[in-house]
Amino acid sequence: MRVAIVGGGAAGMTAAHLLDKVHDVSVFEKEPVLGGNIRTLNKNIPCDSLNQRITLDNGVIEFQRDYFTNFHKLMADLQIQLVETPVSSELFLPDGHYYKSTGAIRYGCKTKWEQIIEMLKQTPIMFSYLCFLARISLASQDSFRHRPVSDYLGNNISARWLKMLLMYAYSMPYNTIDNFPAEIALPLLSHSGMLTQWDRIVGGVYSYIEKILSRFRGTIHCDTRITGITRESTGVQISLVNTDPQHFDKLVFATTPDQVLRLLKDPSENEIRRFQAWKMNTIDTLIHTDTSIYKHFGVSYFCEFDLFQTKELGDSGYNAYLDRLCGVDPQLDTHFSLAYNLEQQIAPEKVIDRQHHATPAYNVEAIRYRQEVLETNGENHTYHAGAYLFDGLHEGAVSSGFVVSDLLGGLRL
């Protein structure tokens, strides 16, 4: 069977890897490189100004050990080395106050006295967080459907901290988080506490895409422009700029969901209903070496999930300290970070790389028909994969590739 996969991110490449064992697979990616939101400097992203022995991720970085089951199955199949990485968080407010997570207190406080002060500051936040956890653990998963996060999170400091973690996890502007779907957010928040273990991929996240490519027998088309896709009784026709249309038996959409109606020339009424509310969200992330953002707070331990409220109750951004997350040799005495929405605070000469990302714009309306998309996967010779169909993270992307592979008789891990 000839299978076309449109989109070469994590979902598309997982599906390609599993289907390649039994079908003739072609991947069509619009960018010059594969990976989607996987952007590993010195791998799929060249970076002359960075020591060539260092790999830094300016996109997807970390993976939950206990909750990313399919992701870990894929990594085991590809024999990719993962190591646990300590992860902690701090919340910085515009008035100069800051709060440390338990991990940040454990690793970042120099004296017992400092630890006690930080724990006392943290206690009311922790109490409020535990009340939130108790509340959502008593509710059924189904009751979260079609409801926004604001139904569960108010505006106290603990709630704002959690909303900023959602901003970080889903690359969505802070001012949109109140309308973020509770059914995606609450499971993540309930299992991302102080006991959660996180893994990173040795050598950078793109290493696993390289491994897929080393085993791949199909065809990869990067930098392609699809002008339209039509479905026929015998399969699917893909029209491309500067080449003849190509015929396939099956089509897998592994793009962001806003692209489905943009590319389909013959969408059914059902497809229009399922995809019309999806829009694209775009963000820029910077890799930089500027630590002056912490000076104002007198903090010298930098965390993986550092969250900055930049205006009183308003906008926010994050700074993810990368040295531990990307396994940079401590002997090199570097301070690399990945920042979002902190451009005003970062000196331009300290910026090493900038990446532009497109992600699904998550809101309650957009995901209304998500279950229906999964239930009708395969209708009109057309399948759908993408993180947005599950948890919105890497586990979701890989899981969606597993589902499509199962439906098309591909390899099962």
Amino acid at 52: Q
Among 20, 55, 59, 251, binds ligand FAD (CB under 6 A): 59
> Taking CB under 6 A as the rule, does residue 85 contact ligand FAD?
no
Can you tell me the distance from the alpha carbon of 351 to that of 284, in angstroms, rounded to the nearest whole number?
12
DSSP single-letter state for residue 311? S
The footprint of ligand FAD on residues 150-209 (CB under 6 A) is 171
Where on the phi/psi map is residue 5: left (φ > 0), alpha (ψ -120 to 50), or beta? beta
27 pairs with which residues across the strands? 5, 220
Q: Which of 246, 225, 226 is nearest to 236 (CA)?
A: 246
Candidate segments 9-17, 189-197, 302-310, 405-413, binder of ligand FAD by CB under 6 A: 9-17
Instruction: Confirm or reject binding of residue 405 to ligand FAD (CB under 6 A).
Output: no
CB nearer to ligand FAD: pick between 7 and 204: 7
Among 44, 85, 122, 256, binds ligand FAD (CB under 6 A): 256
Q: Are 323 and 330 in contact (CB under 8 A)?
A: yes
d(CA 388, CA 11): 10
**Contact call for residue 62 and ligand FAD (CB under 6 A):** yes
**Can residue 238 be called a binding residue for ligand FAD (CB under 6 A)?**
no
List 10, 45, 56, 212, residue binding ligand FAD (CB under 6 A): 10
Total residues binding ligand FAD (CB under 6 A): 34
* C-alpha atoms less than 13 angstroms from C-alpha of 208 in its C-beta half-sphere: 29
User: Which one-letter DSSP state was computed for residue 337?
Assistant: E
Calpha distance 99→85 (Å, rounded): 21
| List 4, 5, 7, 373, residue binding ligand FAD (CB under 6 A) | 7
Say which DSSP state 221 is in: E
Of 36 and 410, the one with the shorter C-beta distance to ligand FAD is 36
C-beta of residue 17 within 8 angstroms of C-beta of residue 216? yes
User: Smallest gap, in angstroms, from Cβ of residue 25 to ligand FAD?
Assistant: 15
Residue in 15, 45, 252, 254 binding ligand FAD, rule: CB under 6 A: 254
Q: Does 73 bind ligand FAD (CB under 6 A)?
A: no
Q: Does 397 bind ligand FAD (CB under 6 A)?
A: yes
The verdict on 343 binding ligand FAD (CB under 6 A) reads: no
> DSSP string of 347-364?
-GGGEEEEEEEEEE---T
Residues that bind ligand FAD (CB under 6 A): 6-12, 28-31, 36-38, 59-63, 171, 226, 254-256, 259, 263, 285, 357, 359, 386-387, 393-394, 397
